[in-house]
Amino acid sequence: MAGDVMDNRGRGEARSAIPSIHPEGRKYALICFGLSLIAAVLAWETIAWPLAFLSLCILAFFRDPERVVPRGDNLLVSPADGTVTQIAEVEPPLELRGEDGGLGRAPVTRISIYLSLFDVHINRSPCAGTIVAMNYMPGKFVNAELDKASDENERQHLLIMRGDGVVVGMTQIAGLVSRRIVPFVKPGDIVAAGQRIGLIRFGSRVDLYLPAGTSPQVLMGQRVIAGETVLGRLGETVTLEGVQQ
């Protein structure tokens, strides 16, 4: 079974090219680089070199590579780069239940993806559809890997309605270092599968809530690629089993 999982995680064909840098990161990199130049002119080498290195780290963090989105109307692709840290049956958060067009109260499968500081932090839409709701919740900044982060941390909830009426839920969660969630979309926007919809600065987590009748197509500990790895197939209820290798 593990071989089947590896086949669906995406090969990153478009990542061989030098990735662009998201504008959110350019300004911080320019500030650090400018300060490093000033420090160098003043012969403050102990400050200049660390600032120059920091500017390179910022550029790496805000890299924005292109992705090749798999074809298939029933596919749900990963909204983030990172590692699958939890697959669990949970009740959707209150903000995603909705009185009309939400996920409801019935338990659904939640796939949690942890993004380290070294992962790409641009988040992408798991499917094509319309953004029907967005709810920003201020909160704490505990370790994003902890289960309680879903309820306590700063977070942004999104509901995406597909053309067939199926609703997919997604939550961007800030982590220990991350202090801001930056959305690229708003309610009413129509998005494509794999389209960039936001970013979380400096370490975070993204939760994807699969629609009823959809089983996860990934394993715990698996590395996933935003916009490429298939996390679920609508209407497919066969759960993959195996050990990630």
Q: In which residue are the tokens 């939640």 written?
A: 110
Q: 3-state class of 78 per DSSP? A: coil
Cα distance between residue 122 and residue 168, in whole Å = 19
Residue 15: strand pairing partners: none
Phi, psi of 223 (to 5 degrees): -80, 135
DSSP 8-state code for residue 216: B
Residues 102, 105, 110, 112: is their CA dihedral positive or negative? positive
25 and 240 in contact (C-beta within 8 Å)?
no
Of these residues, 20, 150, 204, 215, which one is catalytic? 204
Q: In which residue are the tokens 């390179």 written?
A: 56
Catalytic site residue 204? yes
DSSP 8-state code for residue 69: P
Catalytic residues, by residue number, are 204
